[in-house]
Amino acid sequence: MNSSKPLKYIPLSFKALALISALLGLVFFVIILVGGGSPEAPRATSLLALILGFFYLLFFWTIAEVIGLLIKIESNTRKE
């Protein structure tokens, strides 16, 4: 049995998390920007939501690529 088959889903789940976080960052950006600001949360907070969404996109995507690379290295170095 090839053990790398189930391992392919780990990077895929991290890429899904990356896309979800980017989408949520964009949604929160629009909600805060359109909803107006308050003294506790000014409209500039919307930029923070957008930047953090992009940061988490890069973070989760990088994790997915590194895990995928490690899985490929492991499957290429296995003696069968």
Statement: residue 80 has pLDDT above 70: no
Boundaries of every domain in the chain = 8-74
As a whole number, the mean pLDDT across the chain is: 86
Q: Is the pTM of this model over 0.85?
A: no
Of the CA atoms within 13 Å of residue 5, those in its CB half-sphere come to 3
- Region for 36 from its dihedrals, namely left if φ exceeds 0, alpha if ψ lies in -120 to 50, beta otherwise: left
State the CB neighbour count (10 A cutoff) for residue 23.
12
pLDDT of residue 27: 92
pLDDT band at residue 15 under the 50/70/90 scheme:
very high
Q: Rg for the chain (alpha carbons), in Å?
A: 18
Find out whether 41 and 12 touch, Cβ atoms under 8 Å.
no
pLDDT of residue 1: 45
pLDDT band at residue 32 under the 50/70/90 scheme:
confident
